[in-house]
Structure 1
Amino acid sequence: MKIICDVEVSNRLLPSQNMTGSRRAVRSTLGIGKLDSKSENIFILHQTTQNKTGNKYKVTGNIEGVFTRFSSEGKATIRFRAPPHDLCLRSADPIQLNCFLRLLRNTLEGKADRVTSTKAETGNLKENNQLPGEVGKSKSRLGVISPASKLLAGIKRTLKIFKRSDYPSVLGFPKTLEELQISRLQLSCLDRQVTRLPLLRMLDLTDNRLSSLPKELSLLPNLRELRLAHNSFGESCDKGVSSTSTRLNATENEKWGWIGGSLLTSLTFLDLSYNKIKHVPDVLCRLKSLLNLKLDHNEISVLPSGLGTMCKLRLLSVSNNSLLYLPGSLRKLRLEAIDISNNPPMEREMQLPRRLWPESLSPSAVLGMPTLFEFAARKVVSMGLHPTASDVPYPIVTYLSSANFCICGGPCFESKLKVLISMDPRSIAFSVAWTSGSGNPPTLAYLCSLKCLESVKKAVY
């Protein structure tokens, strides 16, 4: 049996000699079986395109441990005694990996080499294509390991589809795909076969008519790059739905329900340009590993206040929209580049700073004392918890989703101050695309306490 996965070979003796290995996983083939038909020894053969001969590891009496806690995610580790190597398996198909590990376990227990057929097991000999003289003979489950160079060379890793005739509707998508592009087909819904590609790293669905994605997409463990430009994600979600806010919120949450699961920690690139998006969902801010976010050429007027909590974000592009102001939480970020050009409402002259509460009230009176419920909600959000309606009552879920984020990065609800200030975009990014003649862009800052108010007092007063 053979499986294809990423394998990192770790030598356990190197740390004791103050040395480090490459620590790099390589696309490989792992086979388990005999080296020839006459041999009784069973080996695991590790082969790559660079090492076609492969390295063999004896199985019987030579395995110190097998770590399978994350086998459902396509990960496992096999530890050998001699040589003192650990084979760290990643990005394997979970089903194939579990079959491989089951065969390895049976081999270690002496069950996989020979299996005796009995009459009860064989039943009718003719139906089993077995001769009478073969009853009771042993049947080998472990075959001879053949070279895997051709197997590796024939792996389908990339697929590009630009015509309906190229769509694999009969055979389906190869399970080994790492990059998939389906463009210019005017698709209105995504084939759920795509959500069953465990090795997929890049998905390009540019130039279709998609308005949502299946929730199962969030289960892809290795998806890094998602390109959704020139689609219809800004299409109104209230078509055929009653106008009650609760119903609209539920429909909106369902529309962006694919943002979750494994994508929260794996996705690094997201392109939603040219989608006529008017409202950016707050759930987008949960993509904590995102490095590059493109929202160009939409109809966005307000960005989520939690955008500044995406601490790994390096490139932000929101050009050619209708932005009124930037979220104050962006002060927490250190971007490599930001593009906020061609946002006419934000380029108008405005008197700043501007307090957005009645002048007759003092800041402490507006803030008041947060309730115990709000203190608890702030703690839940700051801990990164996202309970659903199956965990807590739905009104609490709605309340938690209404959190605004202070310039300090903390969440706030009813107890807050709002103020428009001027923020130099060069203070948060090395490279800035902005109409310099219009001054600094206005920034809406939420303030969760008097301490945060003091930090921007010079800008406010």
Structure 2
Amino acid sequence: MASFCYQYLSIVANDFIFFSGDVQTTTIAVAIASSLCYSIVWAIYYVVRLAHPQHQRENGRRKSASPLAYLPNMGAKFTIKRPKTPTTGLYQDLIRFETVLCNQVEVPCVRCSKNLADPQCRFVTCKLCCFCPEACDIHKRPCDLECRPCDHLSVITEINLSECQISQCPERIGYFGSQLSLLNLSSNDLGEVPEEIGCLRGLKEFYLQKNSIKTLPATLGSLTNLQILTVSSNKITSLPDIWLSLSSLQHLDVSHNEISGVPDSVRHLRHLHTLLLQHNKFTSIPDKICQLKELQKLDISDNCLDSVPNSLGGLLRLREFLASSCNLATFPMSLCQCPSLRTINLSNNRLKLIPVEVGRVGNLKELNVSSNCLQYLPATLHINQLHVCDISENPFLTEADNSDVQLLTQGPYDTGSVPTLFELAFRTVVSGDSYDLTTLPLILQETVGEKKTCTSCGVVFLNLYRSSLHFRQFAHSYVPFLSQLCSAACAVNS
């Protein structure tokens, strides 16, 4: 029957259509046959593509010329973010994800690093490297998954998922590989950081600011190459004891949290040069911080500090000290022992005096003591030589305040220009900072708090030879400066 039908159709096609002698009929027949063949070919190609979607992804990769323009299986739209003007900031040439549609990320097999790990594999391995197929939901049953090479993953070094409104990290992003050097998850709604982040051994910059994170995982201690860590504007109450292994860390920002202390291992951050602690719940500067010999910037503003430790003077490389709005009543004398100090910001506190020693900090360029309780400045402070000097919002004395000015203006003491024996003993004892106050005689213990520093020679003394208040013009007003001298010789030299 089939052979009969075939012969019948062949006769009809040959005699009545293609070779009928009618040119129009033949043309139409050829067009229909060509369209039918073309449709059949496209149908076969489409079926092949559905059966092998991997080829489509590989073709998409080859079209990408940028090393940062591809992150597989994110279901996201992304573009390269390049600043319009040259900057030296932290966010140059990053992958910018505009919308995130799913959380699955393809990562290399943790065992061979040659193939992609199969989805849902609990061991994050490929089909050939699964540690225990019997315990793996996807590998314990026969599957037709093919091993897919992950050569394209080696080119991705920086990922930016900031401002994507995500509430959790993309699944398995911690297994992305050691080639990832920057991860930005800032300005989202993250409540926690997955422990798998510790697998990113090559990570150098990690940004988590402006989230809702309460605790940091202990696995962050595995990021031995980390140089910048920013977790500001979160809900962190304490820091994990992970800092012993983070010896490469240079920049640490934990500001705008609820932290009241730091672990002992912080003192091992021997390369740390920037520490931001503002807007927390510190009541004092921990002594561990004063052991960071490479520290250059310390910001502890907007904390309620009781005092500043004397050990702060051991920070020989400290360049910036910011402690505004800390409710400080006395100027930290230890700052005067930091030879590299260039910037001091103690605005909005309760300072009544600025010590004479501040004027002898040789590299000081910026001073902000605005909004305090200062009535005068020390004569050693040359405010006109500073690049930035803000002394506004202080109740400075004026020439019209006769009674207060006369109270600060005193003549030579009655015993003449030769100091008393008690004065000489006092100067000898308190001239250094190594003395133990409890071992001193009671009469000296009671008078140590009254010690002064000569504005001329810098000697520590007790009884004034002479003090005087004089006014100098600064900006559009006159500022009072107090000089205090220890001897007649200093009075002559001044």
Q: TM-score, normalised by structure 2?
A: 0.47
Distance of aligned partners of 1:223 and 1:336 in 2 relative to their CA distance in 1, 3 Å threshold: same
Report whether the alignment pairs 1:179 with 2:251: yes
- Give the counterpart letter for 1:175 in structure 2: S
- 1:121-136 to 2 correspondence within 5 Å? none
Q: Return the alpha-carbon distance in structure 2 between the equivalents of residues 183 and 319 of structure 1.
A: 23
Report whether the alignment pairs 1:155 with 2:221: no
- Give the counterpart letter for 2:420 in structure 1: T
Whichever structure has more strand as a proportion of its residues is: 1
Contact 1:322 1:346 in 2 (8 A): no
- The equivalent position to 2:455 in structure 1, one of 387, 407, 428, is 407
- Give the counterpart letter for 2:271 in structure 1: L
1:424: which partner in 2?
Answer: 472
C-alpha deviation, 1:306, in angstroms: 2.6
Contact 1:309 1:332 in 2 (8 A): no
Contact 2:238 2:262 in 1 (8 A): no
- Give the counterpart letter for 1:363 in structure 2: P
C-alpha deviation, 1:183, in angstroms: 0.8
C-alpha deviation, 1:171, in angstroms: 4.6
- Give the counterpart letter for 2:328 in structure 1: I
Contact 1:206 1:229 in 2 (8 A): yes
Q: Return the alpha-carbon distance in structure 2 between the equivalents of residues 348 and 190 of structure 1.
A: 48
SS of residue matched to 2:267? helix
- 1:347-426 to 2 correspondence within 5 Å? 349-351=400-402, 354-356=405-407, 363=412, 365=414, 369-372=418-421, 374-375=423-424, 378=427, 385-389=432-436, 393=440, 402-424=450-472
Contact 2:459 2:486 in 1 (8 A): yes
C-alpha deviation, 1:175, in angstroms: 1.9
Distance of aligned partners of 1:219 and 1:425 in 2 relative to their CA distance in 1, 3 Å threshold: farther
- Give the counterpart letter for 1:169 in structure 2: P
Contact 1:353 1:420 in 2 (8 A): no
- The equivalent position to 1:336 in structure 2, one of 387, 400, 407, is 387
- Give the counterpart letter for 1:158 in structure 2: I
Q: Return the alpha-carbon distance in structure 1 between the equivalents of residues 341 and 356 of structure 2.
A: 16
1:228: which partner in 2?
Answer: 300
Distance of aligned partners of 1:215 and 1:441 in 2 relative to their CA distance in 1, 3 Å threshold: same
Gaps of 5+ in 1: 1-149, 236-254, 427-433, 457-461
How many pairs does the alignment contain?
Answer: 273
Distance of aligned partners of 1:211 and 1:337 in 2 relative to their CA distance in 1, 3 Å threshold: same
C-alpha deviation, 1:307, in angstroms: 2.1
Distance of aligned partners of 1:351 and 1:184 in 2 relative to their CA distance in 1, 3 Å threshold: same
- Give the counterpart letter for 2:240 in structure 1: S
SS of residue matched to 1:424? strand
2:308: which partner in 1?
Answer: 256
2:320: which partner in 1?
Answer: 269
Higher-Rg member (1/2): 2
- 1:45-124 to 2 correspondence within 5 Å? none
- Give the counterpart letter for 1:405 in structure 2: T
C-alpha deviation, 1:220, in angstroms: 1.5
Q: Return the alpha-carbon distance in structure 1 between the equivalents of residues 368 and 408 of structure 2.
A: 31
Gaps of 5+ in 2: 1-201, 206-223
Distance of aligned partners of 1:314 and 1:159 in 2 relative to their CA distance in 1, 3 Å threshold: same
| Bigger RCO of structures 1 and 2 (CA < 8 A, at least 6 apart) | 1
Report whether the alignment pairs 1:202 with 2:240: no
What's the CA shift string for 1:15-35, capped at 9, x where partnerless? xxxxxxxxxxxxxxxxxxxxx
SS of residue matched to 2:358? helix
2:240: which partner in 1?
Answer: 169
C-alpha deviation, 1:391, in angstroms: 11
Q: Return the alpha-carbon distance in structure 2 between the equivalents of residues 328 and 202 of structure 1.
A: 33
SS of residue matched to 2:478? coil
Distance of aligned partners of 1:370 and 1:180 in 2 relative to their CA distance in 1, 3 Å threshold: same
Distance of aligned partners of 1:454 and 1:341 in 2 relative to their CA distance in 1, 3 Å threshold: same
Report whether the alignment pairs 1:440 with 2:478: yes
1:311: which partner in 2?
Answer: 362
C-alpha deviation, 1:387, in angstroms: 0.6
Q: Return the alpha-carbon distance in structure 1 between the equivalents of residues 374 and 283 of structure 2.
A: 22
Distance of aligned partners of 1:450 and 1:165 in 2 relative to their CA distance in 1, 3 Å threshold: closer
Contact 1:357 1:418 in 2 (8 A): no
CA RMSD of aligned residues (A): 3.7
- 1:231-242 to 2 correspondence within 5 Å? 231-233=303-305, 235=306
Distance of aligned partners of 1:352 and 1:450 in 2 relative to their CA distance in 1, 3 Å threshold: farther
